[in-house]
Structure 1
Amino acid sequence: MSFNSPFPDVEIPNLSVYDYLFGSIADADLQKPALIDGTSGAVTTYQALIGQINGIAGALAARGLELGDVVGLHSPNVPAFASVLHGILRAGGTATTINALYTAEDIAKQLTGSGAKFLFTVSPLYPQAKAAAEKVGIADDHIIVLDGVDGHPSLKDLLTQGATAPDVSFDPATQVAVLPYSSGTTGVPKGVILTHRNLVANVAQMEPRVGINADDGVLAVLPFFHIYGLTVLLNIALKLRARLVTMPKFDLVEFLRIIQDNKLTYLFIAPPVAVALAKHPLIDQYDLSSVHTVFSGAAPLDEELGKAVATRLGARIRQGYGMSELSPVSHAIPFDRDDMPLSSVGLPLANTVNKLVDPESGEEIDLPAEGRSKPGELWVKGPNVMLGYLNNPAATSDTLDEDGYLHTGDIAVVDSEGVVFIVDRLKELIKYKGYQVPPAELEALLLTHPEIADAAVIGVLDDEGEEVPKAFVVLQANATIDEDGVMAFVSERVSPHKKVRKVEFIETVPKSAAGKILRKDLRAAESAK
């Protein structure tokens, strides 16, 4: 049976993203800091941001951007990212955000797939951006290098052009705002079609749950080019008139310095950062007392790890769930629910309906009268669900059904109050002698060992052709535990079928920019042996 969000529906205005975020800004907020460059300390006020957005929109329109044209945005987290993103949308364009770590070949694939006509980048990423643009035929005058490179327009050039933002009209429910590409952890990356209504809806759905207000300082280290960073950090913070402090890449010392010096109050992180916050000795050398909330997403956060972070920082810890196809958030532990298990992803957001479906029988799983339900694939329906995958009707029909439910590919259980717990990904469950073994459960357990800094688990074949769990382990400095010790540690704490049966020590666990473990990379390396 389906189950609704326990929260009353929120109003979703029929507005563009620009009008929703900035259309009704109060005069008193215009001089507040909107974005602060964490490296340089340069401040962009809300008034300056809106001026830049309109200037970029006008310049793009004057240079030939038409309604619905796609623009590539290839940049780390810098304040100008916000100006450019919203300038593209303000002009009626569609932004396809590109991973700052991509190679020229990867960039070219996304530019080709999305049909981009312009490309924004920055000078440190220029060589690969330029090579990709040449490969797909984007002219030099349509490659904008924010901080300037000879032969191309810069952000300053666009802003001093003095062009007026165009008067565009479109239906927010059908006008494509952004085309992020799914991370590819389970296959070839696909363009996710998200409309203005999708993005507006997700901000409206999340606003009552996150507990951010205009006095908060929010750290923006998770990448804006990922939908988590774009919606949850950038758009929600701007809508609530908080100040965002940007970091172009993660560095623990700089991360801690920026929190301390800017007295930041709210951190959005992925689990790898939680590991550092819980275990790294450097944490004690900085004053992080201003932080009142840490919100984790993008990958499962272990409850014990979350509690360790909460104890060390004296802050509340919350977790949410989502995916690019959900704009991205569908579930969250509300900021005011200290009683909710941190092992959960919280409650379904307002305006959504959920189902759990047995992946083998196709039968719907009932909400339990008490305790937790049987596991099933999580299906979600709501105004934040994507329109589909770009030029990929087969993948769209595999993921979106006729009733509007998005089949997430994640296995979950639900309790009698509607609290959802993610078990693992459907495609990543290890099948050992017919039993299902969730890698995330074993990874979370491994991280509780004081000598283990990080871990990942995949299924590999043993000598008899049976799939067994193999752990890839990153050790803490001066650790003495060996392979047998790792296996014994797990064996003492899990059912027999969940035992780790192989161990390999590695330098780092491969992860996406959003913090997801790239198990496909580990599987590829394993198969190449």
Structure 2
Amino acid sequence: MTMVPKNLFTVKTTLCSVKQSSKYASSAIRKHSVWTQDKVIKSPYKSIEIPKYTLYDYVWQNLDKWPERTVSVCAVTGRGYTYEKAFKLSNTFAANLRRKFKVRDGDTVAVMLPNIPDYHVVSLGILEAGGVITTLNPIYTAHEVQRQLLLSDAKIIVTLPETVPTIRESLKMAKLNIPIIVVKTNGEPIPEGTALFNELSEDVHVDKSCLKEVRRGPNDICFLPYSSGTTGLPKGVELSHRNIIANCEQINEPLVRMHNDTTPSHQDVIIGVLPLYHIYAASVLMFHKMSMGAKLVTLTKFTPESYLKTIEKHRTNIVMVAPPIILLMANHPAATAKTFDPIDSICNGAAPLAASDVERLMKKAGRQLDFRQGYGLTETSPVVTISPKGLNRYEATGPPLASTEMRIVDENLKNLGPNERGEILVRGPQVMKGYRDNPQANSEVFTEDGWFRTGDLAVADNDGVVTIADRLKELIKVKGFQVPPAELESLLRDHPAVTDAAVIGVPHQTKGETPKAFVVLRNGQKCTEKELSAFVNEKVAAYKHVEDITFVESVPKSPSGKILRRVLKDQYC
């Protein structure tokens, strides 16, 4: 890993020397407290300078340092691109978007692709053409697709040949007639009436002078993902070039960075298992790692065996995942110490992970890995905090990133102090411009003085180190007491017979609500509802007791790893 400058924070010791404590750079924090008198948490890191680039220019700014390095490669077929090739193809694709499809500055282009090496080329081409990227889950139904196409006002959609029937059905539903561009990844013929991305990106005759007409600046929107919708219908999140570049610079901070410099003798290898249509992977795995010259190994279809084999085969040294994959790595019989051999660092994001789950991961690895936990949202580009190097409190996510402020507030938005639990409010350059065409939603999440309400509950200690408690709207209220599902889920997973668990609140005649658990047992393990209840209930206060347990084959989760509690409620309640 990269060495940490010893003069950072003007102290003599670094985070790497800290063990089992949040007292990183403690002398600096005493000198420069992260808590203000008004109970606002300031970042302990040096403020960033945000380059006045577009995201396209930012990603390619160091192209001359690693033109022959691989930018992306398919884990199964080995098909991929060098940085130089990807740059040329994206450049040509951009010119054709302007010439043949009349894309103009600010036009939205929809991308509905799985994780394939071409994702980088498609995305950067859209940006260079002056367009805005909106991403869709490739397993969306026609109903889901048509809604996003209408909301985003997409002018074109890029997809795979096999998805075209769904696209066409969605266009019929939406009464739209927009071009469909398909990415050909095998020898199958392309659907009639579609354009071929491979030809558009390899067109040696296209006149590229049209790209000089593009006028896009740092404050213009470049990325329009749609929020997960776990608390309502998906909303278009307007992220500017500056938002995403700022976040890239923030995670370059020496104490939190999880990448190494690309040199003649080294290139980081990152496994692309997180969906690139999600902000976590798009920003942190694709845009940021491209700017650093890393290689992304893409997995189009996930299976536990293919994922674990890819880590070994491609010598993946950085793993960025969500809780379900951490649990898989800690519990799957095919995961051995050999699997973990090439790994230097693992980062969990998208949803909280209990320390006990991380300890099981370390036990499976047979050694101490550099494990981090991050916190963020689609609306924050996405990273707000990452646990810094040497902070071995696995459940913690660290203090706010550079140039980021945070508040922990009560239900009246009154600031709380250290070790008090409340909702997180954030202010920083990575916070979105707002939800597209949704003033009501914007008024609900932004305070009058510009703070973004995350809807997440957390506790911050004296050093500003944050531990996520739960989603505000997912709290279970038992006789007026607040019960966080994540706490009970962590305890359930601690049982040796349990591999996964989810908890929701269900109506109760006398309590108002009561916790209901859904549990997945390990293969070959047996356990009764009574045994599990006793195991959990002896560890928590009476109002948190779990008496209602249903055994299920799997816990429904979003592609980013969040438990879909509403799905459980719909199916079982």
TM-score normalized by the length of structure 2: 0.88
Q: Select 1:158's aligned residue among 172, 179, 200.
A: 200
2:104 match: 66
2-side partners of 1:338 and 1:281: how far apart? 29
Instruction: Name the SS for the 2:231 alignment partner.
Output: coil
- Does 2:385 match 1:331? yes
Instruction: Name the SS for the 1:7 alignment partner.
Output: coil
Instruction: Name the SS for the 1:395 alignment partner.
Output: helix
Q: Select 1:265's aligned residue among 317, 323, 337.
A: 317
Superposition deviation, residue 68 in structure 1: 0.6
> Any gaps of 5 or more consecutive residues in structure 1?
none
Question: Contact conserved, 1:456 with 1:517, CA < 8 A, in 2?
Answer: yes
Indicate how the Cα distance of structure 1 residues 524 and 465 shifts in structure 2: closer, same or farther if over 3 A, else same. Answer: farther
1:402 match: 448
Question: Contact conserved, 2:408 with 2:425, CA < 8 A, in 1?
Answer: yes
Correspondences of 1:30-69 after superposition (within 5 Å): 30-62=67-99, 63-69=101-107
Indicate how the Cα distance of structure 1 residues 331 and 168 shifts in structure 2: closer, same or farther if over 3 A, else same. Answer: farther
Question: Which piece of structure 1 moves more, 208-217 or 413-422?
Answer: 208-217
Superposition deviation, residue 309 in structure 1: 1.3
1-side partners of 2:483 and 2:339: how far apart? 41
Q: Select 1:202's aligned residue among 242, 247, 254.
A: 247
Superposition deviation, residue 171 in structure 1: 5.1
Counterpart of 1:378, as a letter, is I
- Does 2:414 match 1:363? yes
- Does 2:341 match 1:295? no
Question: Contact conserved, 2:258 with 2:318, CA < 8 A, in 1?
Answer: no
Aligned-residue identity in percent? 38
Correspondences of 1:57-456 after superposition (within 5 Å): 57-62=94-99, 63-139=101-177, 142-147=179-184, 148-162=190-204, 163=206, 164=208, 166-170=211-215, 172-208=217-253, 209-213=256-260, 214=262, 215-284=267-336, 287-313=339-365, 314=367, 315-334=369-388, 337-359=389-411, 361-366=412-417, 368=418, 373-456=419-502
Superposition deviation, residue 170 in structure 1: 3.9
Question: Contact conserved, 1:182 with 1:189, CA < 8 A, in 2?
Answer: yes
What root-mean-square deviation, in Å, do the aligned CA atoms of Structure 1 and Structure 2 show? Answer: 1.5
Superposition deviation, residue 138 in structure 1: 4.5
> Any gaps of 5 or more consecutive residues in structure 2?
1-38, 185-189
Instruction: Name the SS for the 1:513 alignment partner.
Output: coil
Instruction: Name the SS for the 2:561 alignment partner.
Output: coil
Counterpart of 1:41, as a letter, is G
Counterpart of 1:5, as a letter, is S
2-side partners of 1:275 and 1:178: how far apart? 31
Indicate how the Cα distance of structure 1 residues 195 and 511 shifts in structure 2: closer, same or farther if over 3 A, else same. Answer: same
Question: Which piece of structure 1 moves more, 414-423 or 340-349?
Answer: 340-349
Question: Which piece of structure 1 moves more, 463-472 or 100-109?
Answer: 463-472
TM-score normalized by the length of structure 1: 0.95
Counterpart of 1:153, as a letter, is A
Question: Contact conserved, 2:71 with 2:295, CA < 8 A, in 1?
Answer: yes
Superposition deviation, residue 285 in structure 1: 8.2
- Does 2:548 match 1:487? no
Question: Contact conserved, 1:375 with 1:412, CA < 8 A, in 2?
Answer: yes
1-side partners of 2:438 and 2:536: how far apart? 42
Instruction: Name the SS for the 1:129 alignment partner.
Output: helix
2-side partners of 1:319 and 1:49: how far apart? 31
Instruction: Name the SS for the 1:298 alignment partner.
Output: coil
Counterpart of 1:296, as a letter, is N
2-side partners of 1:450 and 1:316: how far apart? 25
Instruction: Name the SS for the 1:283 alignment partner.
Output: coil
Superposition deviation, residue 6 in structure 1: 0.5
Q: Select 1:474's aligned residue among 509, 517, 520.
A: 520
1-side partners of 2:165 and 2:340: how far apart? 38
Indicate how the Cα distance of structure 1 residues 50 and 138 shifts in structure 2: closer, same or farther if over 3 A, else same. Answer: farther
Instruction: Name the SS for the 1:207 alignment partner.
Output: coil
2:40 match: 2
Question: Contact conserved, 1:257 with 1:286, CA < 8 A, in 2?
Answer: no
2-side partners of 1:319 and 1:168: how far apart? 42
Question: Contact conserved, 2:129 with 2:214, CA < 8 A, in 1?
Answer: no
1-side partners of 2:552 and 2:504: how far apart? 14
2-side partners of 1:8 and 1:468: how far apart? 45
1-side partners of 2:361 and 2:81: how far apart? 31
1-side partners of 2:219 and 2:110: how far apart? 20
Counterpart of 2:299, as a letter, is M
Instruction: Name the SS for the 1:201 alignment partner.
Output: helix
